[in-house]
Every structure is written in structure tokens, then in C-alpha cells.
């Protein structure tokens, strides 16, 4: 984890946990439970699940005589860890009206107090590594919390506002041109002493042909050109699976876009606002990104091309789709037990995204980070950068 070096592990723990609750300060109590689709979880579940992670994977194995806050929570707030036991079906997370929001915050305080005791008692590298994993896990859920909340709010005809000054999608990168990368053998994957996920290892060599990559991600204006040229109506630009998705969804624009009086608006956590044409396009899925690339007569970068070139352009406003399938690196080793379920079991039918987004928590990005989602996923803050 790339926290400032002067911070102790205890300070890192406190600041990470506090930021999750800070993200919830604009919410009304009714907002904590909403779940409108299976893939987007309610804020209350995120608050409880991230707490359960520390209870299950840190306190129970490492703090002597620790007593769980509520034995029912192991079932309610487990996500996908089959090694831990049974879990609530994902589409029922919004049905958990009890425990209450107040009880979930009490749960967080209980676990945080126990974690403070553990942090005072030990300096074991095994425990520290597990805590750091838990902090990175919580940072992932901080971004998911915002993404899920935005999706849920967008389904409300009243278009509720999370924070009136929260429209980060309008940030932009002022860069032009392309960066040429020469043919050669390059090393990719994590290398260093800090934290990384197991899917970023092992570092290995890859051969790349010469390529050029655009210094800026695709803008809203550029994507509008694709739309105005009939890009959503021409099957020749689409992968077959993507075209079937487009037809089923009757899609003609990115998620959250709506045309009013001949102008495009989009829903943000700051409300419904006019689209900034210079900002990077957001909330595309892989199908849309690939179709746009085909329309432009080019392609998406592989994850290795993106990583090698990333030192030469600005990134971090959008997760950027690559044309790489999410697969294990040579020498990848899955940890035993539940911790091994974190990444390894998802290495099928998913695409890799690189970079970070405006919703990514501070100190939670690096150019070797391998995010991954199914090709139809739009609700993340995802965009596209092209091979030139």
C-alpha cells in the first residue's frame, strides 16, 4: 500500500476506516439499504462487509480470546468466500433492514477497538501483511460504494444528489499526440517492496511489437462523433457478443447519458449536469470501448502495452479497458484457504482494466494494478485509451 512512509500501520488503519465512514456522511438513513440490481451493493453492506473482513481474517486468527460482535454477521456479510462458510445471496443484500445502520456503526467501532488492541500487541509480519490486505480491500470497497450508490441514485426519478459539488467526471487531461514504443522485450508485473495483489506477480518478460498509444484517453466529444456517425447502429464495429448486448439493452449512448433539448446531459453524484465534451468519456463497457476502437480503425492496447507505455502519459481519471483477458501470470500462486479466493478464482471471462479512476481512493493505484470486470460492466468509472 502506497501510504506516506511516515504513517504507522495504526495510523493507516484509522485513516482508511475513517474515510469509508466519511463517504457515508452525506447519506440519509434510507440511502444505506438501497439495492436496485444484483451487482451493486447497498452502503450499509459495504460498511459491514469491510468490517467483517478484519474480524474474520485478522481478529479471529490473531487476537487471543476475541469474541465476535454477532455470530449472524458471518453469514450476512460474507461476500464470496466459500472457505468461510455459507453466505447471503448477493441479490438480497438490500433486504437486510436489520441489523440497523446504528448497529452496523456499532459493529465497526467494536472491531476497530479490537484492532487497536491487536496493533498495540504485535509486530508480526504475517499479521501486518493481513492488515494491509484488509486496508486495500476496504479501499476497493470505497470506490465500489461510490459506484454502487451512483447507480442506485440514477434509478430514482427524483435524481437525488449525493453532494452538490461532487462532479469529478469533469476533470480532464490536457494532452495531445501519441507516444511511440519501440519493439522489444520488456518486464511487466509488480516489482518492489510495497504492497501488491497476488495477481500482479510474478514479474516476467513479454515481447512487444512497435506501437503508438494516445497520450490522452478518449473524450466525450470524440465519443459523440462515434454516436453521431451511427456507431451504435452498425454491427460491423461490434463483437458479436457486444452487438447482442447492445440489441438487448437497446443502447445508444454510455450509461447515465440522456439527451434533452438537443443537448447531452449525464447523471453524476452531484446531480444531472451537462456533459463536458473535453472530459474523458466515462462508464463505457468493454463492448462499447472495442466498438469505438473499431470505428476509429484501431484497437485497444493490451494490458502489457498499457503498462510499458504508462510512464509516458497521464492516467488515473478513468479505469481503461484493455483487450487482455484476465489470466494468471507465469508463476502465479494462489494462497491456501479463503485468502486464495480473493483474485485467483475469477480468472475466467473477464477483461483487464488498467490505471485508476476519480473514484479510486488515494494511495491505491499503481501502473501494475490489474482491475477486472465482465465485458458488459458499465457502472464502474471506466473509459478508453487507443492504440494510435
> Taking the chain, what is the end-to-end CA distance rounded to the nearest angstrom?
33
> What pLDDT is recorded for position 1?
41
The pTM for the full model equals 0.96
pLDDT digits (tens, 9 = 90+) for 123-137: 799 999 999 999 999
pLDDT-flagged residues of the chain (< 70)? 1-6
> What pLDDT is recorded for position 123?
75
Q: Which residue in 46, 177, 61 sits closest to 108, CA to CA?
A: 46
- Residues 243, 235 contacting (CB under 8 angstroms): yes
CA distance 61 to 64: 8
Domains annotated on the chain, with CATH? 9-154 (1.20.120), 168-383 (3.90.1580.10)
CA distance 329 to 46: 30
Kindly state the cell numbers that stand for 100. Answer: 440497523
Count of residues for the chain? 388
Q: Extract the runs of DSSP E, i.e. beta strands, from 66-225.
A: 178-181, 184-188, 204-208, 211-214
Concatenating the DSSP letter of every residue in 120-134 gives: HH---HHHHHHHHHH
Give the 3-state secondary structure of residue 185: strand
- Residues 22, 303 contacting (CB under 8 angstroms): no
Amino acid at each position: 500500500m502506497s501510504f506516506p512512509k511516515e504513517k504507522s500501520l495504526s495510523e493507516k488503519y484509522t485513516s482508511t476506516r475513517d474515510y469509508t465512514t466519511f463517504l457515508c456522511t452525506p447519506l440519509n438513513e434510507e440511502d444505506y439499504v438501497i439495492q436496485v440490481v444484483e451487482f451493486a451493493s447497498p452502503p450499509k453492506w459495504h460498511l459491514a462487509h469491510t468490517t467483517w473482513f478484519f474480524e474474520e481474517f485478522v481478529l479471529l486468527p490473531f487476537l487471543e480470546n476475541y469474541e465476535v460482535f454477532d455470530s449472524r454477521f458471518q453469514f450476512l456479510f460474507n461476500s464470496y468466500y466459500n472457505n468461510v462458510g455459507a453466505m447471503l445471496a448477493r441479490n438480497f443484500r438490500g433486504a437486510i433492514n436489520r441489523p440497523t445502520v446504528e448497529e452496523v456503526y456499532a459493529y465497526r467501532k467494536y472491531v476497530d477497538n479490537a484492532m487497536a488492541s491487536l496493533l498495540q500487541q504485535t509486530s508480526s509480519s504475517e499479521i501486518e501483511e493481513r492488515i494491509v490486505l484488509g486496508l486495500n480491500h476496504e479501499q476497493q470497497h470505497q470506490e465500489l460504494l461510490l459506484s454502487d450508490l451512483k447507480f442506485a441514485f440514477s434509478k430514482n426519478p427524483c435524481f437525488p444528489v449525493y453532494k452538490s459539488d461532487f462532479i469529478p467526471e469533469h476533470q480532464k487531461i490536457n494532452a495531445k499526440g501519441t507516444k511511440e514504443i519501440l519493439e522489444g522485450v520488456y518486464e511487466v508485473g509488480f516489482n518492489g517492496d510495497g504492497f501488491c495483489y497476488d495477481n500482479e506477480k510474478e514479474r516476467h518478460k513479454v515481447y512487444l511489437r512497435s506501437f503508438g498509444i494516445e497520450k490522452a484517453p478518449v473524450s466525450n466529444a470524440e465519443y459523440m462523433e462515434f454516436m453521431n456517425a451511427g456507431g451504435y447502429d452498425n454491427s460491423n464495429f461490434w463483437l458479436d457478443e457486444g452487438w447482442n448486448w447492445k440489441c438487448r439493452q437497446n443502447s445508444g449512448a454510455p450509461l447515465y447519458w440522456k439527451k434533452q433539448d438537443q443537448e447531452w446531459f449525464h447523471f453524476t453524484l452531484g446531480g444531472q449536469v451537462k456533459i463536458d465534451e473535453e472530459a474523458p468519456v466515462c462508464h463505457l463497457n468493454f463492448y462499447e470501448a472495442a466498438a469505438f476502437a473499431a470505428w476509429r480503425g484501431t484497437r485497444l492496447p493490451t494490458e502489457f502495452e498499457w503498462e510499458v507505455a504508462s510512464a509516458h502519459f497521464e492516467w488515473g481519471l478513468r479505469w481503461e479497458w484493455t483487450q487482455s483477458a484476465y489470466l494468471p501470470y507465469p508463476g502465479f500462486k494462489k494462497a491456501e484457504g479463503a485468502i486464495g479466493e480473493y483474485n485467483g478464482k475469477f480468472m475466467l471471462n473477464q477483461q483487464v482494466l488498467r490505471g485508476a479512476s476519480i473514484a479510486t481512493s488515494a494511495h491505491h493505484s499503481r501502473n501494475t494494478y490489474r482491475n477486472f470486470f465482465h465485458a458488459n460492466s458499465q457502472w464502474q468509472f471506466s473509459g478508453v485509451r487507443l492504440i494510435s
